[in-house]
Structure 1
Amino acid sequence: MTKNSLYALLMLIPLFGCQSVANKQVDKDRIVIEEKLPIIKVLDTDFSKGRLTLVHEINLHDLEKFHGHLCDGLVVGFLGIQEGLEVLYPNGVIDRTNTRIVSKSSPCLTDVAIYVTGGRYQYNSFYVDDEIQNGFYIIQRKDNNESVKVQLKKGVKPAQIDVLGGKAILGDLPPCALDTLKFLEDEFSKKLLSTNPKENFSITKLKDFKWNPILKNTYIKTDIINKNKSKCTK
């Protein structure tokens, strides 16, 4: 090895050392974030014809991969369904084989409902209904028909998100305004994740809820409407 090449190698060592420290800090930050993520425990059968013994832990990262992205709707759905299931299953473990759910048609809310509960229309454990009043989920236990409605409390969600969101659904939001909407949604998500869910959601027990599956396939998937929108150039 020449003197110059040895010198070059010695110069790289501190760089790699700094990189290692930086990576360790990133990993440390990631661990802290992971520890703060809400978790829902669910109970499943242990194989294709198995017994009800397998426990899984579901978090927002799991949902993000299933849904395609992380957004405020996913956070609202996850925290809301967690609160509702806590009432139905006070022991903390949700029996997926004993749960069914009705959801409003939001792509985010429906994906949370399906993923967390395991509900499917073909098994009579999930359907969509935008006629739910003052709420976005109705969750029911099959064994005793105990049902709850999940609602985001008034004033929790910034009104500007719905204003801009409505324009985005119509395709009328310019590129830079679309970025503003994303920023507002991200800030709202952070707020929800950093506060007690009981401050943001209300759970109502329903005495006479009738399970009435509706089959409809004309809902608009609002999270892909602007997929070809140009980037903000400002």
Structure 2
Amino acid sequence: MAEVEVAPYAPVVAVVDTVSSLGPRAREPQKITLQDLVRFHGHPCDGLVVAAAGIAYGLQALFPRGVVDRTDLAVAVNRSACYGDVAAYLTGARHRYGSLVVDPSLGDTWILTRRSTGRTVRVALRPGVKPQRLRRAEASLRRGGCEPAAIAEVQELQRHFALAVLSQPPGAVFVRESLPRFPYPTG
């Protein structure tokens, strides 16, 4: 899925972190791309692409000046390893510190909060964006129908879905709304 990296709406997120475990924030931001996320996660999948696009869209609302402070975030995701890896990498949230919350009921939704301001957003994949054919094929594989032809079909459907997501402005793919507060306890 190398073509996702050059897709029109492939997310690039500028971030700052601390320069050491107890140090000050870095002065210069670094950029995180889909290629960085693939190296961390291990493979380029539609879950990685969709989560990256959705979370980046949420971060734009929380950090309108464009540079994300990864020391200032908490996020909630479903139990997908793909979504969780992307959320941790883009936001700096960590389960061990209570800033990465896993809520299986979230589905294709992410909730992000900027701790310093309390500003919280929910980003969800718009209904109908993920093709039903892909949903059915994935469900079939999960039930144990792992024939090579079925796996190849799902991979191709996922590739087309990922490219479709990155070929449209995020507002056409996701619903983003403000919440009054982050609905989970954090550490």
* TM-score greater than 0.5 by the shorter chain: yes
For residues 154 and 7 of structure 2, the distance between their equivalents in structure 1, rounded to whole angstroms, comes to 26
**Residues 1:190 and 2:163 aligned together:** yes
Instruction: Map Cα deviations across residues 80-100 of structure 1 (whole Å, 9 max, x no partner).
Output: 001101111111111101001
Distance 1:209 1:45 in 2: 24
Aligned position for 1:161: 134
What is the one-letter code of the residue matched to 2:155?
K
Q: Quick one: which amino acid aligns to residue 172 of structure 1?
A: G
Tell me by how many angstroms 1:167 deviates.
1.4
Partner of 1:116: 90
Give the letter for the 1:205 counterpart.
S
Percent identity (aligned): 35
Does 1:77 pair with 2:51?
Answer: yes
Paired with 1:47 and 1:110, the residues of 2 have a C-alpha distance of 24
After TM superposition, give the deviation of residue 46 of structure 1 in Å: 1.9
Alignment: residue pair count: 183
Normalised TM-score (structure 1) = 0.72
Q: Structure 2-normalised TM-score?
A: 0.90
Deviations for 1:6-55, whole angstroms, at most 9, x for unmatched residues?
xxxxxxxxxxxxxxxxxxxxxxx99x938974200111112333211241
Distance 2:178 2:165 in 1: 23
Structure 1 stretches lacking a partner, 5+ long: 1-28, 214-234
Aligned pairs (5 A) from 1:12-23: none
Determine helix, strand or coil for the equivalent of 2:153: helix
CA distance in 2, matches of 1:136, 1:34: 22
- For 2:119, the equivalent position in structure 1 comes to 146
Give the SS at the match of 2:29. strand
| From 81, 89, 93, the counterpart of 2:63 | 89
Comparing both chains, which one has the higher relative contact order based on Cα–Cα distances under 8 Å and sequence gaps of 6 or more? 2
**Structure number with larger C-alpha Rg:** 1
Segment drifting more, 146-155 vs 202-211: 202-211
Contiguous gaps of at least 5 residues in structure 2: none
Contact 1:43 1:55 in 2 (8 A): yes
Bigger helix fraction: 1
Matches of 2:6 and 2:124, distance apart in 1: 26
Letter of the aligned partner of 1:183 in structure 2?
E
Question: In structure 1, what residue type is equivalent to 2:175?
Answer: S
